[in-house]
Amino acid sequence: MAALSGVRCLTRALVAARSPGAWRSLSTSSVVHAASPNQAEDLRVEGAFPVTMLPGDGVGPELMHAVKEVFKAAAVPVEFQEHHLSEVQNMASEEKLEQVLSSMKENKVAIIGKIHTPMEYKGELASYDMRLRRKLDLFANVVHVKSLPGYKTRHNNLDLVIIREQTEGEYSSLEHESARGVIECLKIVTRTKSQRIAKFAFDYATKKGRSKVTAVHKANIMKLGDGLFLQCCEEVAELYPKIKFETMIIDNCCMQLVQNPYQFDVLVMPNLYGNIIDNLAAGLVGGAGVVPGESYSAEYAVFETGARHPFAQAVGRNIANPTAMLLSASNMLRHLKCGLETWAATAPQPTSSSLSSAICTPMGARALYSQPHKDHTSLQCSGPGKSP
């Protein structure tokens, strides 16, 4: 009961802290729309919205358990269709992949944990996680890096968005041994996908009231590959005269994020750079456990943690931080528009001290969520229209 009360308290505080006006999911994007009222009714299964759930590896199942417990306590109208896909737990096969794809294509929305990719080469370069994202064409990864009230870091009051193209680039799984002891890794950059992610970033900035987009690249060295990406960003930027556009080389971007992250608003970048910057930026606001993430195609929306870590060393120790996954789950509900706004409105506005107590421990890499919260066990989750 202590664990559930703590998670409930944390969720109430987090949802209330991020008011509808401040919450930045992609529900109004021109690429992915939230379900309309009529569509929402069609998606209901006996009164609930069907959502595909992949617990993933490491502490993923523990984080998903927290989500399910909170949803149950709050009577959230979501029915999770749980599937398992894991290369490290011997739960990966073409059949399982097709089952997951079938579920996600039917439901359109999913929440997933980290599907860990082993470093050992076993004859297949593309991991199941990569194949899943490619088959669904989840080209845009969005990570909203926002400081949590009540938890102080070196840089406070941060609010920036990282948009990453995640279907090509260095993660194209095209490697071969051209001669003994010589490995060639191909980086694929196309005009079509570069233009698409650039337009996605500018559409996001426009609809979310953001003022600047920064294209991150290494065109000074990779003159053709990153040069094409940069050129596409510059061309798209001309179509959005009200949005300020800047460019920055990736190595300088890393330094600037550490020294003065406030200069950034929306950053758009190729695959590998986005993977690195996501993790760097997460560290600025407390670590991998506090930053939510989302991935979009033209049809599907997947909600996950912003910094993808299995945190396997924490399995079973009850120290995994559920904040990022709970925030992602809340973003998912706002995307579905299935009553979270009403539910969130019933929560009391937290003070910095109450949110700090709910989170309870330093969150550089992890936070307890089961033991503390004794001072907040009376703050229970309520369904829409109910008071605690």
Give the per-residue pLDDT at 279: 93
CA atoms of 271 and 255, how far apart (whole Å): 19
Last-in-domain residue among 255, 285, 315 = 285
CATH value at residue 264: 3.40.718.10
Q: Does some domain include residue 6?
A: yes
SS3 96: helix
Specify the DSSP element, H or E, that contains 217: strand 212-217
Q: Do 3 and 42 belong together in one domain? A: yes
pTM: predicted TM-score of the whole model, two decimal places: 0.80
Q: Do 187 and 298 belong together in one domain? A: no
CA distances 328 to 36, 44, 140, 197, 316, Å, are 20, 21, 16, 21, 22
Last-in-domain residue among 246, 267, 285 = 285
Q: Does some domain include residue 137?
A: no
Give the per-residue pLDDT at 118: 65
Total of domains in the chain: 2
Last-in-domain residue among 285, 303, 324 = 285
Give the per-residue pLDDT at 314: 57
Token representation of residue 322: 């559920």
Largest CA distance in the chain: 69
Please list, in sequence order, all residues whose beta carbon lies within 8 angstroms of the beta carbon of residue 98, skipping any fewer than 6 positions away.
none
Nearest CA-CA partner of 276 in 303, 259, 289, 257: 257
Q: Do 125 and 29 belong together in one domain? A: yes
CA atoms of 352 and 149, how far apart (whole Å): 6
Backbone angles phi, psi at 130, to 5 degrees: -65, -40
Q: Do 383 and 320 belong together in one domain? A: yes
Q: Do 338 and 361 belong together in one domain? A: yes
Q: Do 344 and 248 belong together in one domain? A: no
Give the per-residue pLDDT at 218: 98
Q: Do 230 and 319 belong together in one domain? A: no
Nearest CA-CA partner of 287 in 371, 361, 374: 361
Q: Do 172 and 56 belong together in one domain? A: no
pLDDT less than 50: residues of the chain: 1-8, 13-41, 45, 343-355, 357-388
Q: Do 3 and 124 belong together in one domain? A: yes
Q: Does some domain include residue 53?
A: yes
Query: What is the domain extent for residue 15?
Result: 1-129+291-388
Q: Do 1 and 26 belong together in one domain? A: yes
Q: Do 273 and 303 belong together in one domain? A: no
Q: Does some domain include residue 353?
A: yes
The number of helix segments (H) and strand segments (E) in the chain equals 12, 12
Q: Which residues sit opposite 91 in a β-bridge? A: 86
Q: Do 279 and 194 belong together in one domain? A: yes
Q: Does some domain include residue 202?
A: yes
